[in-house]
């Protein structure tokens, strides 16, 4: 087995513009086979566009690469056969029943026993008893399970999931992620975009993308370490006043409230220490140096990239 077989997605320099606005800029990434790759970034950062390029729904303006060993520019048809794509918006037929939707997908991919495949998937999804219900009448959590079922039905090698858990309750989210881990354990590669930090931490690797630029990638630990961020957690009285006083001070890149505490972070340790020094002795405040959370890192990255790319 050579290196190429170990890599499911390998793209370089992807660029895509819509109406003169660059949505994806010079994006390169590699995803290992059998891994769960988290794709994070604010709304409109180019996550969906990148996923669509990977499965052949969009043609990049420039760039190249392979998906499951097939050229993303020339072999879109072959890629489509082996990729399950779960769209951000529910895109099964609302006026078809659960079973009819699954049978439609099964037939489209040419499964020999479409009825049987649909029946088995209904069982696996725990949708028994609901197979005659119209897809449009299902609750959000069930719709999402059904959509995942539909795109895993033709046994793909790669799953592209675009914000699959948006608007789904925590219990359903947990079940969903257990399912994804089970699929990855079976050898499936999963690329999943999300806004949720807890979901990011369940991925083997993550990438952070903002304004079309891939800002950082690696394991969660690597991303946190790579941020070189120093974070202090402050608890106490009048944190609103402190927020106002610290924002914009030298060395302080981010001040963000987390429940009853405040996270103060910066990349320049010396400048940060100097700026917070006048407040350290305040008896009403309790300061504690802490490891930055993934969220600290991302919010700081987002703030920095906004300055860089939005003038």
* Interface contacts to other proteins, rule CB under 8 A: 52, 55-59, 76-77, 80-81, 83, 85, 87, 89-94, 105, 108-109, 150
- Measured CA to CA, the distance from residue 9 to residue 126 in angstroms comes to 31
Residues linked to residue 282 through DSSP beta bridges, in sequence order: none
Residue tagged 């897809």 (tokens): 135
Q: Which of 48, 256, 255, 55 is nearest to 158 (CA)?
A: 55
Q: Smallest distance from the beta carbon of 51 to other proteins, in angstroms?
A: 10
Q: Smallest distance from the beta carbon of 55 to other proteins, in angstroms?
A: 5
- Measured CA to CA, the distance from residue 297 to residue 216 in angstroms comes to 10
Q: Smallest distance from the beta carbon of 19 to other proteins, in angstroms?
A: 11
Q: In the chain, what's the furthest Cα-to-Cα distance?
A: 73
Q: Smallest distance from the beta carbon of 89 to other proteins, in angstroms?
A: 5
Helices (H) and strands (E) in the chain, counts: 12, 14
**Quick one: CA dihedral 278, 283, 288, 292, positive or negative?**
negative
Q: Smallest distance from the beta carbon of 170 to other proteins, in angstroms?
A: 26
* Strand locations in the chain (E): 7-18, 21-32, 36-40, 62-67, 70-71, 83-86, 158-162, 189-194, 205-210, 213-218, 230-236, 254-258, 261-266, 285-290
Q: For residues 46 and 266, which CB has a smaller minimum distance to other proteins in the complex?
A: 46
Q: Which of 165, 159, 121 is nearest to 141 (CA)?
A: 165
Q: For residues 79 and 168, which CB has a smaller minimum distance to other proteins in the complex?
A: 79
Q: Smallest distance from the beta carbon of 133 to other proteins, in angstroms?
A: 18
Q: Which of 270, 265, 269 is nearest to 302 (CA)?
A: 265
Q: Smallest distance from the beta carbon of 96 to other proteins, in angstroms?
A: 10
Q: Smallest distance from the beta carbon of 293 to other proteins, in angstroms?
A: 31
Q: For residues 68 and 92, which CB has a smaller minimum distance to other proteins in the complex?
A: 92
- Measured CA to CA, the distance from residue 92 to residue 143 in angstroms comes to 9
- Measured CA to CA, the distance from residue 130 to residue 61 in angstroms comes to 44
Burial class (CB in 10 A: 0-12, 13-18, 19+), 267: middle
Q: For residues 111 and 290, which CB has a smaller minimum distance to other proteins in the complex?
A: 111
Q: For residues 45 and 49, which CB has a smaller minimum distance to other proteins in the complex?
A: 49
Angle between helices 269-280 and 239-246 (to 10 degrees): 140
Q: For residues 59 and 128, which CB has a smaller minimum distance to other proteins in the complex?
A: 59
Q: Smallest distance from the beta carbon of 253 to other proteins, in angstroms?
A: 26
Q: For residues 81 and 304, which CB has a smaller minimum distance to other proteins in the complex?
A: 81
Q: For residues 70 and 232, which CB has a smaller minimum distance to other proteins in the complex?
A: 70
Q: For residues 159 and 255, which CB has a smaller minimum distance to other proteins in the complex?
A: 159
**Residue 250: how many other CB atoms lie within 10 Å:** 11
């Amino acid at each position: 087995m050579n290196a190429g077989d170990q890599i499911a997605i390998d793209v370089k320099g992807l660029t895509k513009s819509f109406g003169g606005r660059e949505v994806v800029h010079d994006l390169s990434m590699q995803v290992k086979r059998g891994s769960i790759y988290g794709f994070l970034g604010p709304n409109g950062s180019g996550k969906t566009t990148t996923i669509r390029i990977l499965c052949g729904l969009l043609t990049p303006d420039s760039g190249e690469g392979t998906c499951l060993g097939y050229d993303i520019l020339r072999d879109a048809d072959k890629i489509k056969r082996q990729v399950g794509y779960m769209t951000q918006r529910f895109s099964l037929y609302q006026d078809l029943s659960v079973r009819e939707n699954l049978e439609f997908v099964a037939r489209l991919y040419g499964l020999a026993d479409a009825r049987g495949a649909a029946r088995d998937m209904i069982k696996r999804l725990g949708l028994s008893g609901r197979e005659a219900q119209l897809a449009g009448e299902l609750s959000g959590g069930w719709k999402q399970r059904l959509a995942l079922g539909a795109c895993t039905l033709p046994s793909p090698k790669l799953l592209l999931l675009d914000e699959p858990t948006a608007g789904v309750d925590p219990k359903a989210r947990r079940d969903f992620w257990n399912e994804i881990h089970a699929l990855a354990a079976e050898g499936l590669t999963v690329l999943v975009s999300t806004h949720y930090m807890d979901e990011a931490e369940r991925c083997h690797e993550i990438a952070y993308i903002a304004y079309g630029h891939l800002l950082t990638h690696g394991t969660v630990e690597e991303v946190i370490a790579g941020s070189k961020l120093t974070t202090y957690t402050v608890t106490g009285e009048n944190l609103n006043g402190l927020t106002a006083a610290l924002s914009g001070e030298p060395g302080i890149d981010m001040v963000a409230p987390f429940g009853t505490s405040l996270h103060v972070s910066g990349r320049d340790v010396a400048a940060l220490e100097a700026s917070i020094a006048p407040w350290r002795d305040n008896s009403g405040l309790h300061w504690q140096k802490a490891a930055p959370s993934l969220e600290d890192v991302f919010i700081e990255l987002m703030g920095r990239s906004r300055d860089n790319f939005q003038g």
